[in-house]
Structure 1
Amino acid sequence: MESEQYKTQNVIPNLPLIVGIALLLSATSLGTAALVGQFIESKRMMVAAALLLTLGFIILLVWLKGIKARKIVIIPEAVPLASLGEIDANTKFLELESRVEHAPIALFAVRTDQPEIRPLNGNARRILAPGRSSNTEQLFEQIRSNTSGKRAMILFETEQGLERALLASSDIYLHGEQQTMVALMPVESELQLEAQNAWLKLIHVLTHEIMNSLTPVTSLSRTAQDLLSDCKTQLQTPDFDDLHTALDAIHRRARGLVEFVSSYRSLSNVPTPKPEQVPIHDFLNRLAALSNHQWHQRNGRIIITCEPSNLCAVFDPNQLEQAFINLIKNAEEATAQSEHPELQIHAKLTRGNRLRIEISDNGPGVPEDLIPQIFTPFFSTKERGSGIGLALVRQLIQGNGGTVRYAQRLQGGALFIISL
């Protein structure tokens, strides 16, 4: 510490000091004797005294300069053990505070005598910050109702939709008062990824087994039709027509199932992304150019905004283009009954320098009870939908390190939020 006191230890030899003092004393004696005239050659004595005086001063000056130039050993005073303990305690407290602040989970303090729940670290403050939790009071109520010491899965509303989080709590005592520490870890992205992987594995197994059965059926039905044509003259006309119709129906249905299963196989065979730096403004304009004609024919429009205009991101442009085309096609179908259909695509940077792209339309939107299922494979809100459009969108975006969610739009209509 700067305020600590120190002692100095003199390690400079004293011989030059002694010699210098002796010369000064000798010069003084000779000078005094010359002045009183005790010796005949007083003038010579005066000269000698002056020489001795000068030499003595020189030696003393050299000695003084040596003191300044020579390194001095500094020995600190003994620091009391109590001070050392205080320094160690402060260091440990700062280390602990830093670890809590940067913990990878959100920590909250709950007290029964206070209505407010206090965030304890950066992750907790980020959950409560504008742009994340859209209903803080609802989140606090769920935290308070799950402080029994058991783990629980809770749902809380964000501006990007419902998000699931794992909650755990434990009781502690501080200054004689009981408090509950709650740890909250959002796991929506991880759960979505695991669900997606589970569906992909299931689809891979199903498509493999179904294709193994359908392929020979399709081939045999075609062979049977060819053989039947060769035996046409040996069969009566009604029998031939019935057999031909039955085999043709089998062949067509088998071929249709092969094509249907092949479309689902694409979900489990998405190639590895090839990321590159992509200018977002140019990327969105290319998407609009592909669809502008269809929207203009229906007296509609596509609005593209990008802030800033030189915004760039790293992803596979081919895969993301396919994902956006699927979303634009869904918006086109959803606004089929609108007099003036409108599609808005807005790109901007969010906190942490992440890219956020919002795709919204002025259609009827998705019914609230169906929102949790829209990204599930095989599920579709359309009568003849295949159920792979949005599932493929999520897989392509997640494969490029992003997330996609559906959110309720205040003005009505659908709103998809992509974060990269």
Structure 2
Amino acid sequence: MGSEHPPLSPAQLQLRRSQQLRGQVLLAALLLALGAAGLVWQQGSPRWQVLIVLAQLAVARWGWLALGRLQLPAPALDQPQGNPALQADLQQKLSLLEGELEHVPVALLRISGEQVTALNVRARRLLAPGGALEREALLAQLREARGEAGRELLSVATERGQERWLLAGNRLSLGGVEARLLALLPLESELEAETLKAWRQLVHVLTHEIMNSLTPIASLSRSAREMLGDPEAGPDLNLALDTIARRAASLAAFVGHYRSISELPAPQAEVLQLSELFARLEQLVAADWRARGGEASFTVEPESLSLRADPGQLEQALLNLIKNAAQATAGVPQPRLQVRARLVRGGRLALEVRDNGPGVPAGLENDIFLPFFSTRSATQAREDGSHGIGLALVRKLIHGMGGTVRYVKPVTGGACFVLSF
């Protein structure tokens, strides 16, 4: 028969239960850090993405070190229950762990039945006077929050206004008692900074495009008015009026394109067989690529892959990326297009659109998804009808269906856009 450890003392049992609870708390904090990265990665800001990665590493390191302190050493269990040195060591470790838990930079709460318990100082501040204005409403939101692993945005009314928090949850059972552990991370200041940055970028683009049309319109209008009394100014007057009409039409088209990406209909999701979608796309574009001396390939691995999405909007997004690839490879002798659907790590579905063009110029990777931004010259844009909204429209369509889109620069050159679901 194998040797057995002597029964634990009540103090050791209490410590073991406390350590198990704190282990769940630490795991939830790590889960929240990972959930925050998944949510704000979609914002498209590399600065915020880097900050999130650094925060993940910091929380992971803290969690790893703290979890290491949760283990009761096996030899200690064989020692006499009244060993003062053992008790002092265990008490020191527990105090250190409690101190770290108290000051972890997220609000940690436990929900058992209708009771909501704050587990650290950040959570107590949120529930105390001066924190949430409508404490009972917040408690009701927390009780209704998902108990399984996941993440969601929670809006909380505080004295500083409405604030958004990222909530992650997990179920646990201690001593036969079911409970839910919640972790909340404040996001308002970071999201507000990103929103203001996006507005500045959009206003810059809008004012640039509008002024490009209004400046010549204003100048030519003054010139035309001066030529009205000159009987010999007929040809010049006609030219001025024709130019004004063209610039006004261009400005109207600009506003129309802006409306097209700001007022998209809600997606109508249904189960879509990707092999059928790719077959339609191949019929639409493959002949044009062959006529240019190139090739276009469409691959689904495995053939049975399906996706719940809006068929029309997903097809439009892929066509925009394919058009972008065609424009990028306009000067390539043997242009190649590769469109592939496959499963990647984590069971996620990835749709890749790859070309062998020059790729996005260095330093512009962060701007290509901005509305009306284009890496093409004004002459090229006029020739191919590009308005700089293709990639912005792709991102809006994909985000509306619950996916993400990012640009990847392959090691072999060219460009690759990845849609993840």
Q: TM-score, normalization: structure 1? A: 0.54
Distance in 2 (alpha carbons) for counterparts of 1:183 and 1:263: 44
Distance in 2 (alpha carbons) for counterparts of 1:90 and 1:200: 53
Contact 2:261/2:393 (<8 A) preserved: yes
Specify the SS of the correspondent of 1:299: coil
**Counterpart in the other structure of 1:315:** 309
The alignment's C-alpha RMSD in Å is 4.6
Q: State the 1:282 CA deviation.
A: 1.1
**Counterpart in the other structure of 1:86:** 12
Distance 1:281 1:195, change over 3 A: farther
Distance in 1 (alpha carbons) for counterparts of 2:264 and 2:53: 27
Q: State the 1:202 CA deviation.
A: 5.2
Distance 1:362 1:404, change over 3 A: same
Distance in 2 (alpha carbons) for counterparts of 1:200 and 1:236: 45
Contact 2:351/2:420 (<8 A) preserved: yes
Q: State the 1:326 CA deviation.
A: 0.9
Q: State the 1:337 CA deviation.
A: 2.0
Distance 1:183 1:306, change over 3 A: farther
Contact 2:272/2:307 (<8 A) preserved: yes
Specify the SS of the correspondent of 2:304: coil
**Counterpart in the other structure of 1:359:** 353
What does 1:41-80 align with in structure 2 at a 5 Å threshold? Answer: none
What does 1:213-252 align with in structure 2 at a 5 Å threshold? Answer: 237-252=231-246
Q: Give 5+ residue unaligned stretches, structure 1.
A: 1-79, 108-122, 128-151, 157-162
Contact 1:343/1:362 (<8 A) preserved: yes
Are 1:330 and 2:324 matched, yes or no?
yes
Residue-by-residue CA offset, 1:163-185 (whole Å, 9 max, x unaligned): 86546679999778999999899
1:288 equivalent among 275, 282, 287: 282
Q: How many equivalent pairs are there?
A: 276
Q: Give 5+ residue unaligned stretches, structure 2.
A: 1-6, 39-46, 70-88, 107-184, 382-386
**Counterpart in the other structure of 2:374:** 380
Contact 2:367/2:373 (<8 A) preserved: yes
Contact 2:337/2:355 (<8 A) preserved: yes
**Counterpart in the other structure of 1:394:** 395
Specify the SS of the correspondent of 2:29: coil
Distance 1:236 1:412, change over 3 A: closer
Residue-by-residue CA offset, 1:313-365 (whole Å, 9 max, x unaligned): 11111111111111101111111222221111111122343211111111111
Q: TM-score, normalization: structure 2? A: 0.54
What does 1:8-47 align with in structure 2 at a 5 Å threshold? Answer: none
Distance in 2 (alpha carbons) for counterparts of 1:411 and 1:272: 38
What letter corresponds to residue 402 of structure 2 in structure 1?
G
Distance in 2 (alpha carbons) for counterparts of 1:321 and 1:257: 28
What does 1:102-181 align with in structure 2 at a 5 Å threshold? Answer: 102-105=28-31, 123=34, 155=50, 166=55
Distance in 2 (alpha carbons) for counterparts of 1:262 and 1:86: 71
Specify the SS of the correspondent of 1:103: helix
1:256 equivalent among 250, 265, 289: 250
Distance in 2 (alpha carbons) for counterparts of 1:200 and 1:287: 37
Residue-by-residue CA offset, 1:375-415 (whole Å, 9 max, x unaligned): 12232110024321111111111111111111120111001
**Counterpart in the other structure of 2:142:** none
- Identify which of structures 1 and 2 has the higher relative contact order when contacts are C-alpha pairs closer than 8 Å and 6+ apart: 2
Q: State the 1:196 CA deviation.
A: 10
Q: State the 1:89 CA deviation.
A: 2.4
Larger Cα Rg: Structure 1 or Structure 2?
Answer: 1
**Counterpart in the other structure of 1:269:** 263
What letter corresponds to residue 268 of structure 2 in structure 1?
K
- Taking only the aligned residue pairs, the percentage that are identical comes to 41
Distance in 2 (alpha carbons) for counterparts of 1:193 and 1:282: 42
Distance 1:333 1:264, change over 3 A: same
Distance in 2 (alpha carbons) for counterparts of 1:104 and 1:283: 38
